[in-house]
Amino acid sequence: GLRHTENLVREMLAFSRGGNLSTTPMSLTDAVDIAFDGLAPRLRQLDATVERDLQALRDVRMLGNLDALAGAVRNLIDNALDHAGQGARIAVRGDLDHQGDICLVVEDDGPGIDHALLTRIFDPFFTTRDRGTGLGLAVVQAVVLEHGGLVSAGRSTLGGGRLELHLPVMADPDHASGGTAIQHARNPQS
């Protein structure tokens, strides 16, 4: 119960803060590593099998807020664990998409996302779980949009849910300066 309350407060604060994230040059793989470190006890408890393939992103840099992105990735993995349950299979893969942007995919072998709910899963306070807050995916979307990216959901190759993030790479690391605020966002519907 305490962990649930702590997560609820953290998610509400992240959602309410909104924009003006300070950013620095970073690798999204660092955010994924931090997310997995925080979820290690839960992954063991659920006896989850995790496939991680981030090799294509190891040397890719972006301007981002490490804490915010680690929290967003953690929410995606946590959400996958909630739906897939005991013995879950989770896959986290990263590559560059056809536009040269970072693409991170989190998939699970749970029951999947009902097609009728796809348009609502990023709405704040919308949840299908009894103890869910409905903030996890709303926070993910807010963080991704704040980083100029987009997020989408669909059916996993593992049979469950699939959430996909697209984030811009750092155009010119020689001219990037830390501590700037990101002021652009792509339309998640595009």
Does residue 173 have a pLDDT over 50?
no
Top pLDDT among 11 and 65 is at 65
**Which has more pLDDT, 84 or 112?**
84
Alpha-carbon distance of 93 to 109, in angstroms, equals: 15
Q: Given pLDDT bands bounded at 50, 70 and 90, which one contains residue 176?
A: very low
Which amino acid would we find at residue 3?
R
Which residue spans within 47-168 are E strands per DSSP? 49-53, 62-64, 89-96, 102-108, 150-155, 161-167
Q: 52: which strand partners?
A: 92
Instruction: Tell me the pLDDT tens digit for each residue of 104-135.
Output: 999 999 998 878 777 777 776 666 666 666 67
- What DSSP character marks residue 57? G
Q: Tell me the pTM.
A: 0.78
In degrees to the nearest 10, what's the CA dihedral of 142, 8, 93, 184?
Answer: 10
What digits encode the pLDDT tens for the residues 43-67? 999 999 999 999 999 999 999 988 8
